[in-house]
Amino acid sequence: MSALDILQNVTTGTITTMLLKKGIRRTWMQGAMPLVPGGRRVVGPAFTLRFVPVREDLATPESWSKPISTRSAIEAMPEGCIAVADAMGVPNAGIFGDILCMRMVRRGVKALITDGVMRDKAGVMATGLPLWCSGIAAPASVNGLTFVGWQEPIGCGGCAIFPDDVIVADDDGAVVIPKDLVEQVAQEGAEHERYESWVVKEVERGVPLPGLYPPNEDAKKRYEDWKKNN
């Protein structure tokens, strides 16, 4: 099973803990929350998009037809990627609407993550594209942002994200895993999830938390015995 397959069953909460143990703290993207809670977890490589503050001579409706545009960026997105857009948390400029989201769906994009806002909420939801954002606004992106490029390092929700880092997003938000740590985090995260499932069973039968979570030597032994039989 690949690391990406394993991560389908590892929560964002567990991933942040695994990365914290490696000294990496800035992994959860502030402001990027599911537009529709209760959806499936998504996992995939990051395809980055970068906006900067609005420059009125550049951020115009005419810019949508230029080579450097959100439209061109979407056509460069490979199947299976997760689009991650640095919109600097700007609350009054919807970076994408229903038509662009539908094109992403047709290109096989798994999800869109942004610390900014969206527009055309009903239409976007109808496309079925899984989406994490900080809200909804009617004005288009050029009202407050200038699109400047794709597939370069960005900052989204306070996190540094490089192309092909792995993104995992669920109801608790979106996290980034540095691409060189994906295999380790997947394996360690899966084991952590398994241990926590055992802890829940122990707590349900009345075992106190001290010595259980985190485990002392006795708890570790009982857990290993449990694994052998399950």
User: Which pLDDT does position 107 carry in this prediction?
Assistant: 98
Residues 192 and 163 in one domain: no
Single out the residue in 177, 194, 212 at which a domain terminates: 177
Residues 165 and 208 in one domain: no
CATH (domain of 153): 3.50.30.40
Residues 188 and 205 in one domain: yes
In the chain, the amino acid numbered 24 is I
Please give the Cα distance from 148 to 53 (Å, whole number). 10
Residue 67 lies in a domain: yes
Range(s) of the domain holding residue 222: 184-228
Residues 136 and 92 in one domain: yes
Residues 121 and 31 in one domain: yes
User: Which pLDDT does position 63 carry in this prediction?
Assistant: 80
Residues 143 and 198 in one domain: no
User: Which pLDDT does position 67 carry in this prediction?
Assistant: 85
Q: Are 147 and 69 in contact (CB under 8 A)?
A: yes
Residues 93 and 200 in one domain: no
Please give the Cα distance from 87 to 155 (Å, whole number). 9
**Single pTM value for the model:** 0.94
Residue 13 lies in a domain: no
Estimate the crossing angle of helix 12-20 against helix 182-204, to 10 degrees.
110
- Residue among 197, 161, 160, 162 at smallest CA distance from 10: 197
Residues 172 and 190 in one domain: no
88 token code pair: 């600097």
Residue 10 lies in a domain: no
Residues 133 and 202 in one domain: no
Residues 126 and 215 in one domain: no
Single out the residue in 177, 192, 220 at which a domain terminates: 177
Residues 121 and 140 in one domain: yes
Residues 166 and 188 in one domain: no
- Residue among 48, 63, 29 at smallest CA distance from 141: 63
| Strands 42-53 and 82-86, bridge-based pairing | parallel
- Residue among 21, 34, 22 at smallest CA distance from 169: 34
Residue 9 lies in a domain: no
pLDDT by 10-residue block (mean), the chain, 230 residues: 95 97 96 95 98 88 86 98 98 97 98 98 97 97 95 98 98 98 97 95 95 93 91
Q: How far is CA 39 from the centre of its chain?
A: 13
**Element housing 132 (H / E):** strand 131-133
User: Which pLDDT does position 60 carry in this prediction?
Assistant: 84
Helix (H, G, I), strand (E, B) or coil at 52: strand
* Domain count of the fold of the chain: 2
48 token code pair: 């980055």
User: Which pLDDT does position 56 carry in this prediction?
Assistant: 87
Estimate the crossing angle of helix 217-228 against helix 182-204, to 10 degrees.
100
What end-to-end distance do the CA atoms of the chain give, in Å?
Answer: 20
Single out the residue in 151, 177, 203 at which a domain terminates: 177
